[in-house]
Each structure stands twice: as C-alpha cells, then as structure tokens.
A and B are shown apart, each in its own frame.
Chain A
C-alpha cells in the first residue's frame, strides 16, 4: 500500500512514479493525497483532494479514526515507542468531523482512508515538498512520522516514511555536509570531539565550532552587514528564493558575491566573480539518491573553455588562502572523505563500479543497508511521538487577494531551468509558464485557456497565459518557478518554517486579472533556449 502526500511524483520524480505505477499494476493500493489533481491521481485507488496547508488536521483526523477503530498497532506502540498515550490523547482533538471541516475532505472519505491504512499489513508513506514547503513543514513531517509509528510502519520492508529528495544529489550534498550545522556524515560542528577529529584528519589546528546560517538567514543578514561574502554554487538564488524583489535587494547588499554555474542565469549579473562550472556529464564523482544509494558519475565530455570541476576550483581557492589540499582527482577527494565518515567508510569507487551501495555501509565487508530502524529500533532507543497542531498558512486569501497560489515543478523543466531552458528540445515541449486555474474561477473571471492573465501578490506581478484545468480546485491557482520571465517566486511569500527555514512556497494569496487585448504585458519575454 502506497500513501502519497504532497508529492507530484510523475512530474517531479518520474522514475519513482514508474515504480509506483508498476506496483499498482501488480495489485498495490495507491492513495494519492494532494490539493491539486495531479497526474498520479489517475493511477490511484483513491484520490483525496485536501485543502492547501491542512495536512496536520487531515492526518491527525485519520489517526483519531485509526485509534477509535482499534487499528493502531498496540504491540508496536508498547514495545517500540516511548509515549503512545500522548498521541492517543492528542489526536482526540481531531475527530474526523472537525478535521474534515478544516481539510475539506468528506467525512466518509476520511473514514475510508483510515480503514485502508488501518487494515493494510504495511504502508509506505511518500512525501516531498508539498509537505515541507509550509511554515509548519517540520510539524507536517512529524505528523506523518506519528501516523507511521501508530501503524507500526517504521523499520519494515515496503513501509516507512519516505521523503523523495528534491534533486539528483541533494541527499549526497547533505551527506557531505553542505549544511550550516554539520560536517560530512552529519557530525555536528558544535561537537568538540567531532570537530577535533576532523581537524586532525585535515591537518589544520582547529575548525569553527559555531553552526553557520541557513540560507534565508544568510541572505537576510546581508541587509545588516552580517553576511559580507556569499559563494553560491549551482544555485540560481534570485529565481529560487521566495519574494524575488526582496531577494535581489539582499543580494545587492552583499559585498562580494561569487557565483559558480554552467550557464548565465538571472543571478549571475549580480555576481562580482563567476566561475564557469562543469555539468554532470563533464566530471567524475558520485550522486547519492533518495534511497541513500551512492552511485558513480563518469566524465563523458571534456568541459568547454575555462570550465573546471568544482573540487579543482575549491582546491585552487584553498591554495590561495594558504592551504594546499593536494588532491589529484575526484576519487582522491572521495578517499579522503571516507576516512572520517563512518557511514560511507565501506563504499569505495571499486565497490560501486556497477551498482551503487546504500549507506550506512561502515566497512568494506558490509553490504549496505536497504532500510533503517528494522523491527522498530530507533536511534534514540524508542520512537517518540511529538503531537502537532494545525495552523493556517501565513498569508490567508482575502478580498484583495482572493486566490491561493501554490507552486511546484513541471515534468519538462528542472528547477530554475539553468539546464533545461538551455535545451531547445525541452523548450519545444514546454516553452512558457502557464497559470493553472479551476474552471469555476476561470468562468467567474471570464478567462479561457490561452488568455493572458496577470497574477499579483503583495510582492509582485507576473504575466502569463492561463490554463483552465480541473487539476486546480476552486480558489486555488498553480504555477512553477522554472521560467524567469514568469516566475512564481515573484509572488511567493518569504515566511519560513521556524526549524528548517524552508519557505512557504506552497501557499500565498494572489489576485488574477485578465490582460485585455493591447494592454502592455509589463515584462519582457526572454526565451533562454539557444540553438
């Protein structure tokens, strides 16, 4: 049984969606929960359209029903969790009738979903940014974790809580410490023992023991001089951060801004220095995918012009700052990393020549780990329930901005389009952004598919064509951020989850107006693709 929530899997994770579809063909039950009627809904045993940002109320309501009907796995709760009575009590605040009022899912549908979950031998919960890109993103994830513990689904084959990681190597980037508070292998920078161990291995007297800033804080601090230098690698910051106009102000305030990328983007004009980067086909290395599988990437092409592998660029910078790292290849960097990363220690390039290995793989003899917490064994001993309460989105629709805008990805384009918008083929398949509007809302505004519309939030305006579609629920519009010339992030709100500082990309308030014939569009149309 697969329970998908907040994941437009066919478009954002097409390979994973293939496995989901195959599972359905083989008889698996698929429940798709999403405010937008995404393509995966066509494959679902049951499609549930809950309102944007109501995940906590919806899931707590399901748990309430599961407890009420005796479907909770009491043996698991007793043996593998620490405080089952806390969650049992907490979800009493969300009887399905009340939850239904908040999330908009009919009571009978909620009861049906709870029954399917409760009676399934195991269930795999898959989620992604529809869950995390809210001001309550952390609590959304905790709520799903609570559900899976109530159902005894953590530490079991074909079950578990499965975040589908955003990019091909976001897992690997996190594993390697591309985070403000951990070294590689999730060793906390403020842990003296970890810091000393790594400093010794790297041959330096000491390393900083104070966690750095998360990205929104880095940018915010630029305005008061707290961030003076920003080194941005493969990220089109202007286009990908929320509230674009404000992001530009923050970037303009940075004293020294370095960008490393493979093509010019709308961020590169703000850079003082640009390093030409290599693309994925032009260098050796590894990618770690969403199932923690480390896989080899091989250089197939010689990088053009002055483009260099990023490890080489970093090494040259280190030299100029007085430290010769002495690496001669990407593999040498890997071998150096492996010495101080216990979960990766058993993964050599030779072992993953053909098929990748899943970490933890602590020794050369270890076969890798398919799934964690087997038989309900947790890192802290027993699983801890953390009850959650539903809160509304940061910006509610009102008379001035009556529509909720939600944002995401399209199948044909990748992130801010640095790669795909430079592909003529992709541009031919999907060459401009469209604003998805429900037939009911479109009819009320006399808008047809193909009409040019202006979407405006308190932060800015974009002009694009309308796509009248049943995918959108009434009162909700949707567009992506792939297109600089009509980018959702002109509109999105810079309000963040307090723990992760992930922005609420999935919900802000906008108004939509039809652009009359002859009226200036207000933005230039830039086609990035080149022959």
Chain B
C-alpha cells in the first residue's frame, strides 16, 4: 500500500467505524440472548459515537493530537482467541469479540503509521491507534469483570 495522506486517513477511519457499527447492529439482530443483544446494541451505539468523533476531527484535525494512550495496556484482548459470531453467544463472548476488533483496529492504525511518509499523517495514525487502544482498554475492563465467573 502506498503512503496514505490525510484525506485517506479520514476515509479509512470513518469506514472502519461504519463497518463496526454495521457489524454490531447485524450481530444484535442475530443473537438470541437478550443480554448479548443489549451488549451489541450498546457497542453499535459506541461505534456511532466514534464515527461522530472522527467527523469532528475531520473538521478540526488539531484536536486529534490531544488523544493520549491509556495509562496501561493490559493486553487481555491479545490473550484471547477471536470468538465466532453465533446465535448462542454469551455476554463474555460478545465483549471478547469487541475487544479483539479494537485490538485489530489498533494494529491496523499502527501499521498504517509505519508506512505513512508524511510526519503529520503518521502522528495522526498514532493518535487514532491511541483512541482505539482506549476503547480496547474499556472493553478489557468489562471483560475482566464478567469473563472469569467462579461457577461450580
């Protein structure tokens, strides 16, 4: 892939959020468990919020520079396998799927950053990676809260 410019950056970022929104909306329609449905609907809503945020950045790219990485990266998403989307998913699978998708987004932006030749564009991709890292961290927190039940 050739070095992306600022225009492409916003196309990539908004497309990613749109696809994620569509994925979670479709997933919400597919799953049987109402709790999992709620989680996917909330995730779709979150992605819509991220889309709006990126649109704001398009208008004021300087604001993107303010995005800092979360204080820590627990790498919980990296330790889990990507769950298969299915009708009988459990809440922890839904959250695991979402945090894996955020991990993939972080990796995508980091990889685009490495191939960007324009220093400014590279920095913007790093900032987008930080934003996704923040989303990943939020989802990892939820996953740890619900993903290890002491059931016997």
Contact = CB atoms under 8 A, between A and B. Distances in A.
- Specify which of B35, B72, B144, B148 lies most central, judged by the most chain A CB atoms within 10 Å of its CB: B148
B152 A182 contact: yes
Contacts of B144: 360, 362, 366, 369
Contacts of A343: 148
A365 B148 contact: no
Nearest to A155: B145
Given A381-B33, A381-B39, A365 B74 contact: yes
Nearest to B72: A365
A174 B34 CA distance: 31
Given A186-B152, A345-B79, A377 B145 contact: yes
Nearest to A364: B75
Interface residues of B, number: 28
A378 B91 CA distance: 9
Contacts of B33: 381
Contacts of A369: 144-145
Q: Taking chain A's interface residues, is the majority helix, strand, or loop, or is none over half, making it mixed?
A: loop
Contacts of A230: none
A380 B73 CA distance: 26
Nearest to B77: A363
B79 A362 contact: yes
Contacts of B152: 174, 179, 181-182, 186
Interface string A2-19: 000000000000000000
A209 interface: no
A342 B79 contact: yes
26 contacts: A174-B150, A182-B151, A186-B148, A342-B148, A345-B79, A360-B144, A360-B148, A362-B74, A362-B76, A362-B148, A363-B75, A365-B74, A366-B75, A369-B144, A372-B145, A372-B146, A373-B145, A378-B91, A379-B91, A379-B92, A379-B147, A380-B90, A381-B34, A381-B36, A381-B38, A381-B39
Given A179-B152, A367-B72, A374-B145, 4 more contacts: A181-B152, A186-B148, A186-B152, A363-B78
Interface of B: 33-36, 38-39, 72-76, 78-80, 90-92, 141-142, 144-152
